[in-house]
Amino acid sequence: MDRFRDSVDARALRFALGFPLMLATAFVVCALLIRTELPEPLAVRWAEGGAADFAPFPAVTGVGAALIVLLGGGVLLQAVPLSRPAVMRRIMMGAGLFVSLFITAVLAAVLVGQLGLDNARQAQVDVTVLAMGSGAALGLGFVMGFVFKADERWSADDEKAVAAALAREIDPGLARDAVSLWVHARSSVFVMLGVATVLPAALLTIALPWLAALLVALALLAAACLFARIRVDRGGLRVFAAGFVRVLEVPAGAIESATQQEIRAADFGGWGYRSHGSTTALLVSSGPAIVVGRSDGRTVTVSGGSAATAENVAQVISRVAARAHRDGGAAGV
C-alpha cells in the first residue's frame, strides 16, 4: 500500500475520481428537474429526416452519467502516476477535464433541444447549448493543463536520499568507504563476438530464422557475461554479473586482505564466473584485478578495470574490513 501511495499523486487521484462523479450527479439532478417538460421517450439519434432512435428518460440519464464517469475519469486517471513525465500529466489532466465537460455539454444539448415538446420526433439538438458548452469545455481544458501542478511529491526514494545524506553528515568517512565500479572486456572482444555470431546469423535469417535468433541471443548473453559491477561498502564486497545478477558476496567481517594484482584469465579457467577449490573468480579480461583473501582461507578474484581503479577498490575493501574487525566483526552501517 505504501508503494502505491508513493507512486501516485494523491490530489490528482482524488480529482480524477471525484470530479466526474460530481459532474455526473449534477447532470442527473438537472435532468430530473426538467423531466416534466420532456417527451417520453427521448430522441437519442438523428438522421436526415429527423429523430431516428429513441430511449426512455432513465436510460438516457443513466448512460449519460456513466459516460461522464467512465470516459472522463478514465482520461483524468492518466495524469495520476508520478512515473510519467510532467508534461504528459498536464496534457492528460486538461484532456480529461475537456472530455468530461464536452460529454456533459452534448447531453445537455440533447435534453434542452426537446424541452416543451409532446413528441420527440420533432426534437433537434440545441446548437447554442452545444456550441457554448463545447467552447467552455475546450477553454477550461486548456486552463487546467497549464495550471495543474505536476511536480513530483515526496516519495520513499526521497526518504532514502535524506537518510543517506544524514548518515554522510554524521559520519564523513562513510562516503570514502563506499565505491561502485563497472568493468567490462576490451572492445575488440565484443567486435570478435559480433563477427563470430551476428554475421552468421544475418546469413541464416532467410533459411533458418530460428537458428539466427538463437545465435543473436547467445551473443547477447555472452556479451552480458563480459560485464560486471563491483559494489563495496561497509557491509562488504558484492559482485554482480551482467550488472544485476549477484554471484559473489563477502561480508566485511570475513575479509582478511585485499590487494591489486596483475592476473591472466587463462590461469583461472578463462573469462566469466569460475570456482575451483578455494578460489572463486569473476573475470572479464586479463590484467589488473582485486584479490580478496577471506578469513576461512578462500580467495576471491575480480577484474578491476585499470590498475588505478583496482588499487582504489582494494584500499576501500581493506579499510572496511579493518573497521569491521575493529568493531568486533559486525559490518558498519
CA 67, CA 220: separation in Å to the nearest integer? 48
Q: What are the domain boundaries of the chain?
A: 2-147, 175-184+227-326
Q: How many CB atoms within 10 Å of residue 128? A: 10
For the cut 70, the answer to whether the pLDDT of residue 310 exceeds it is yes
Using 50, 70 and 90 to split pLDDT, how confident is the model at 151?
A: low
Decide if 100 contacts 140 (C-beta within 8 A): no
Point out which residues pair with 89 in neighbouring strands: none
Dist CA 165 CA 172 (whole Å): 10
Count of alpha carbons within 13 angstroms of residue 74, beta-carbon side? 6
Residue 292 confidence (pLDDT): 92
Q: In whole angstroms, what is the distance from residue 40 CA to residue 55 CA?
A: 8
What pLDDT, on the 0 to 100 scale, is given for residue 2? 58
Q: What is the pLDDT of residue 3?
A: 65
- pLDDT confidence band for 209 (50 / 70 / 90): confident
Q: What is the pLDDT of residue 210?
A: 79
Residue for grid cell 577449490: 277
pLDDT at 173 over 70: no
pLDDT at res. 25: 92
Q: CA-based angle 149:153:155, to the nearest 5?
A: 165
- Give CATH for domain 175-184+227-326: 2.30.29.30
Predicted confidence band of residue 11 (pLDDT cuts 50, 70, 90) = confident
User: Over the stretch 215-259, which tens digit does the pLDDT of each residue have?
Assistant: 888 888 888 888 899 999 888 999 998 888 898 899 988 999 999
